[in-house]
Amino acid sequence: MIDPVLREAESKMSKSVDHFTAELATIRTGRANPALIDKVMVQYYGTPTPLNQLAQISAPEPRLLVVQVYDKSQIGAIEKALRTSEQGLNPASDGQLIRVPIPPLTEERRREFVKLVRHKAEEARVAIRNVRRDEIHRVDAMQKAGDVAEDEAKRAQARLQKVTESQVEKVDALAARKEAEVMEV
């Protein structure tokens, strides 16, 4: 009776970690990474569309991204979206390709990105703790309904706590690695 609840909780928590990992990929470091501009929203015939659905993004060099647009008539809109994004990029187009040089980060900008990493890590930890809270309430409701014995409910809560701690440790490790990557010159 309790095992499906624990499996579901672990699944939800690992999805939170996966989401956090995807969020970290969009934070700039000194190297070019296609995920950096994947989610930039472009006005495509009046509809906001992620860039990765409109173009192929590659990183042929450590400090350069190349965007191959599928619909050449949208090069101007994509260039504008890249220029106005929060990444501080200055794309250049030759009519066929958009080249996006990745400038080196200043010390101040690096510190801003570290703060952003810490903020996103805290959001991930909160999401994981919210899953734990919800599942503990479910176990309590099962206990009150008489479906689960009190000692079994206590064991389930202890196991939920262990799962929560392991997922939070994963988030902390990912955040520490990303912070080191951002601060690396």
Helix axes 150-183, 3-25, angle to 10 degrees: 10
The percentage of residues in the chain with a pLDDT greater than 70, rounded to a whole number, is: 99
Residue-range domains of the chain with CATH: 3-25+106-183 (1.10.132.20), 35-101 (3.30.1360.40)
C-beta separation of 67 from 51 below 8 A: yes
List C-alpha distances in Å: 39 to 75, 87, 124, 156. Answer: 16, 11, 19, 39
Q: What is the rounded CA–CA span in Å between residue 69 and residue 52?
A: 10
Q: Where are the alpha helices (DSSP H) in the chain?
A: 3-25, 35-38, 75-84, 107-144, 150-183
Yes or no: say if 178 and 118 are a contact pair by the CB < 8 Å rule. Answer: no
Residue 65 and residue 59 in contact, taking contact as beta carbons nearer than 8 Å: yes
Is the pLDDT at 185 greater than 80? The verdict is: no
pTM strictly above 0.85? no
The per-residue pLDDT of the chain, averaged, comes to: 90
Residue with tokens 């499906």: 4
pLDDT tens per residue, range 21-70: 999 888 877 778 888 888 889 998 889 999 889 999 998 988 899 999 99
Taking the C-alpha atoms of residue 5 and residue 158, their distance in angstroms, rounded to an integer, is 13
| Whether residue 87 has pLDDT greater than 80 | no
Beta strand pairing call for 55-61 and 64-69: antiparallel
pLDDT one-digit tens code per residue, 97-134? 999 998 888 889 889 889 999 999 999 999 999 999 99
